[in-house]
Amino acid sequence: MSIEKFIYGKMNGKDVNAFVITNTAGTKTQIIEKGATLDKLFVADKNGEAIDVLVGHDTLDGHINRSDYQGVVVGQYANRIKGGVFTIDGTTYNVTKNEKGITCLHGGGEYSSAHWKGEEVSSSSVKFTYTSPDGKEGFPGNVELSVTYTLDDSNSLTIEYSAVSDKKTVINLTNHAYFNLNGCNSGDILNHTLQINADRFTAIDENSIPTGELPEVFGTPFDFTVAKAIGRDIEEAHPQIKNGMGYDHNFCIKDHDGSLKTIAVAQGDKSGIKMVVKSTEPGVQLYTGNFLDGSVIGKNELPITKRSAFCLETQVYPDSPNHPEWPSCVYDAGQEYKSVTVFTFSK
């Protein structure tokens, strides 16, 4: 195992470092301090060729000015909060409405645009830390955060999240990696196969806000209980497909108990690369790049096109601050938020 550190660029006059972790099998990942971003991930395909399975950007300028959250850590609350408002113990908090002027998306973009401090903590791990000030984007509490990436010799990339606030607050963190298991410039992901261990999903309205309903997946395009091609049902005449312009929905993990368990399995049809996702979280957002339109230039100076990537964002359900009946996202002052997600690759 080895870790290399180098200066990736400058942001606000300060160096932004990149850290490259390489295991004994030659699998390699690169993480940068801007947004604690998972920047590159090279995995061997069925022919033994190492390919980058992350769609994103090659430069810091791309990450700052052209990103659709590719590879970043998002928070203080990942996903959406309806109306940018929620209440804790009778106090109403109004947070940044950065989507259509009506929704708080990914905490207003604070964590994804922040300059995190990275440091090697072992020969296979890098830890990133950041302090979010009280009231930033409207969220209560000074929050001390850490995200640790570990790549082991079994080709498992583990992401461990920790956060502690000095005020009662809502916390929900995830990584917004855009995957294409055939390679970052290999076309669409519609023939990738995907299985998700979920029997329900959160229905959304035309603004992608949960309605409060948790329909069963069975007999709908949202049934991934048995592996199928991502594109098989993506154009079905279903009102939820219409609302998301494809898949942009949270799936409710079956038998969630807070332990680390397999929640999804994906495989590239051309590369043969298989990705098993484990998490402690109760939900996972499947997003299939529905809004990517080719106007943004990504890696290798090529456009990022519609459905050229998919995301599996492990999380608490969207808009949970306004749904106390769902898995809790509220943490007392001094109470630690902890979350673990593991991506394991094979062929």
294-311 residue pLDDT tens: 999 999 999 999 999 999
pLDDT at 82: 98
The whole model's pTM is what? 0.98
**CB neighbour class for 257 (10 Å; exposed up to 12, middle 13-18, buried from 19):** exposed
Angle (CA) 185-286-42 rounded to 5° is 35
pLDDT digits (tens, 9 = 90+) for 192-247: 999 999 999 999 999 999 999 999 999 999 999 999 999 999 999 999 999 999 99
Which string of DSSP letters, residue by residue, matches 11-55? Answer: ETTEEEEEEEEE-TTS-EEEEETBTTEEEEEEEE-TTS-EEE-B-
Contact 109, 129 (CB under 8 A): no
State mean pLDDT over 107-112: 97
| pLDDT at residue number 164 | 98
Q: Which helix (H) or strand (E) holds 244?
A: helix 239-244
CA–CA distance, 63 with 37 (Å, rounded to integer): 9
**pLDDT > 70 in the chain, percent:** 100
The pLDDT value given to residue 81: 98
Integer Cα distance of 109 and 129 in angstroms: 17
| Confidence class for position 323, pLDDT limits 50, 70, 90 | very high
Q: Considering only CA atoms, which of 245, 315, 231 is closest in space to residue 280?
A: 315
Phi, psi of 334 (to 5 degrees): 85, -10
Q: What is the mean pLDDT of the chain?
A: 97
For residue 228, what are the CA distances in angstroms to 192, 193, 259, 280?
A: 8, 5, 26, 24
Domain of residue 176, CATH code: 2.70.98.10
User: For the chain, what percent of residues have pLDDT higher than 90?
Assistant: 99
pLDDT confidence tier of residue 186, bands split at 50, 70 and 90: very high
Q: Say what the pLDDT of residue 312 is.
A: 98
The catalytic residue positions are 176, 313
The pLDDT value given to residue 151: 98
Distance CA 253, CA 217 (A): 12
pLDDT tens for 33-43 read 999 999 999 99
Residue 287 pLDDT grade (very low, low, confident, very high; cuts 50, 70, 90): very high
Q: Per residue in 131-182, pLDDT tens?
A: 999 999 999 999 999 999 999 999 999 999 999 999 999 999 999 999 999 9
Number of structural domains in the chain: 1
The domain of 151 spans 2-346
